Amino acid sequence: MIAGIAAKDRPFYARVLGLHYIRPSGLLCFFFFEGAIALATLLALAELVTWWAVVVLPGAIAIMVKINDLIAGFGARSAARAQARAAVRSATRRAAKREAKAAGRQAALASAAADGGPAQVDDEDFPDEVPAVGRASVPQPYAGLAAPDEVRSSQARRRQSAAHRYD
């Protein structure tokens, strides 16, 4: 059984080629094999190719289909590896966040005990998640950046100077 389809349910053409990653339908397999024979026959009758094309063309198409299946397999395996790496990265990030949260609570408890206050820490002080948009964290403003008006004016000057160069 390959990709949830029993071997007897797959078209004969796909079983003969041993396709693992692409699943052509019965109609597509018909066009790959019988259609290639019909096309080669028509080309041979029109004397555009020799009669060897009737044998060679279906074989060439079968080789191309098998190569396409192999390439699809490489892509599927690399996608699976990328998913596994992403899962490890996200698990590592979650663990680091938990450790940082626990360390923050311990520090807050220690400072509260040193002040002689109650040894209680609110969970609101230590949120589980940082605000995010999609997957990226929300960028914080940086004081060293130019003001938006300055950026716009410098961009406008660049556009104007470029326009004058081509006049």
φ, ψ at 25 (rounded to 5°): -75, 170
User: Quick one: what percent of the chain has pLDDT higher than 90?
Assistant: 35
pLDDT at 125 over 90: no
pLDDT at residue number 31: 92
| Residue 78: predicted pLDDT | 82
Choice among 41-45, 79-83, 93-97, 121-125 with the minimum mean pLDDT: 121-125
- pTM value is 0.50
Tokens read off for 136: 């990226």
What are the C-alpha distances in Å from 74 to residues 9, 23, 69, 84? 25, 16, 9, 15
Four-point Cα dihedral 131, 134, 139, 145, nearest 10: -160
The residue ranking higher by pLDDT, 100 or 32, is 32
pLDDT score at 1: 45
Between these two residues, 4 and 11, which has the higher pLDDT value? Answer: 11
The model's pLDDT over 64-74, given as tens digits with 9 standing for 90+, comes to 999 999 999 88
| Mean confidence (pLDDT) of the chain | 76
Type of residue found at 67: I
